[in-house]
Amino acid sequence: MVFPSGTPVRKGHPVATTTRIEGDAAPPRDRSAASPRKRLNGSRWTRIGIPYAMLAPAIILFAAFMAAPILYTLYLSFQKKQVVGLGLGSGGSSQVFAGWENYAAAFGDPEFGASVGRVFLYGLVLVPCMLGLALLFALLLDSPRTRAAGFTRVAIFMPYAVPAVISSLLWGFLYLPAVSPFYYIFDKLGWDAPQVLSSNLILFGIANIALWGGVGFNMIVIYTSLKAVPQDIYEAARLDGASEIQMALRIKIPIIAPSIVMTALFSMVATLQVFAEPTTLRPLTNTLSTSWTPLMKVYRDAFTRDDIYSAAATSIIIALATFALSFLFLKIVQRRAFGQED
């Protein structure tokens, strides 16, 4: 079998892509088939009531811990603190309706725009590196010639188990010339080491921490979907004389495209919400401001500046932007990755 370039195995072997779609569509059909039988036992009330009773815990928890805080945040974002005179003692301040004021202030704040710009740059550096490395490691681990695959897989995954704050502290030590073994070695060799905490490189330094922590997780996601690919495709390809590299590029990657899209989405959302790494590194350097990323600005406004109202407005903006970008991204890649004909 020869694989024409550009049109990968999707048409010849619709294994992963179409089964997935069928798999999604299957349960309702099953249920409709089963329900006539169920209708025989129990009254009309139990028939309607039971599903809701079973859903109730989830609905209540969702309402109490997701919906209610979101609605309250929305409410707060249209409020503000109004102070009178010196603002001392009773009646010095009150909460009043602010209209769109908090939103206007967020969009009008050059620091907010700058933090968004930084995060996009950060994402441009991080997401391709993260997915590229995760995919590379997953393909290498999946290759039949790999030795000590189990150990390697765990070793690559391990950093994901380290909390971001801890890993940032560890990397922070490595980035500080006076206490870092790297700088010590460079110094002994007489080389000039780059100052990672300087304003030019700090973005890469933070991306490196996120990369170190995140590659393992994404690698596992991709690797798992590689393992789900039926082996007979590979056998067929081998019989046709395809090399391992050809198989990787023309069979494996197209088949696991949905998981790559999913990890890309995860990475993008994580990028927009980057917080722990720069916040932990901030006390070590002059190059990170208190509003270096949008989420840091939210934190500063809410907990340092006691202004929960503008923090709420900024949170809403970040949430909406995250949704919008996620949907836009899925819209663009969906047809290609999932092979839908819509």
Partner 1 sequence: MHRIFRSSAIAAVAAAALLTTGCSAGSGGDSGPVELSYWAWAPNLEQVVEIWNEQNPDIQVTVNKQDGGDPAITKLLTAIKAGSGAPDMIQAEYQKIATLVGSDALADLSDQGAGDLEDVFSEGDWDQVTLGGDAIYAIPQDTAPMMFFYRADILDSLGLTAPTTWEEYAELARAVHTANPDQLLGTFSANDAGWFTGLAQQADAEWWGIDGEAWTVGVDEEPTQKVAEYWGGLVEEGVIGNQPMYTPEWNAGLNDGSQVGWLSAVWAPGVLSGNAPDTAGLWEAAPMPQWDADEPATGNWGGSTTAVTTQSEHPEEAMEFITWLNTDPEAVTALADVSGVYPAAQEAAAEALTTAPEFFSNQTDFYDVVAEVAETANPFTYGPNVNVAYSAYNDEFAKAADAKTQAAFIEAVTQMQKITIDDLKSAGFTVKE
Rounded CA separation 182/127 (Å): 26
> To the nearest whole angstrom, how small is the minimum distance from the Cβ of residue 161 to partner 1?
16
Give me the phi and psi of 145, to 5 degrees please: -85, -5
Member of 12, 26, 48, 65 binding partner 1 (CB under 8 A): 65
Member of 11, 90, 192, 231 binding partner 1 (CB under 8 A): 90
Q: Tell whether residue 284 is a contact of partner 1 (CB under 8 A).
A: yes
Member of 21, 56, 59, 61 binding partner 1 (CB under 8 A): 61
Query: What is each CA distance from 17 to 3, 249, 257, 322, 341, in whole angstroms?
Result: 18, 17, 9, 27, 12
Q: Tell whether residue 200 is a contact of partner 1 (CB under 8 A).
A: no
Q: Tell whether residue 178 is a contact of partner 1 (CB under 8 A).
A: yes
Rounded CA separation 102/74 (Å): 11
Run of H or E including 231: helix 231-239
Q: Tell whether residue 306 is a contact of partner 1 (CB under 8 A).
A: yes
Are the CB atoms for 298 and 77 separated by under 8 Å? Answer: no
Strand partners, 80: 96
Strand locations in the chain, DSSP E?
79-83, 93-97
Give me the phi and psi of 144, to 5 degrees please: -65, -20
Member of 74, 149, 162, 176 binding partner 1 (CB under 8 A): 176
Binding segment (CB under 8 A) for partner 1, from list 156-164, 243-251, 301-309, 320-328: 301-309
Member of 4, 6, 27, 85 binding partner 1 (CB under 8 A): 85
Q: List the structure tokens of 3.
A: 């694989």
> To the nearest whole angstrom, how small is the minimum distance from the Cβ of residue 12 to partner 1?
38
Subset of residues 236 to 275 that bind partner 1, contact rule: CB under 8 A: none
Q: Residues in the site for partner 1, rule: CB under 8 A?
A: 58, 61-62, 64-65, 81-93, 105, 172-173, 176-179, 199, 283-291, 300, 303-306
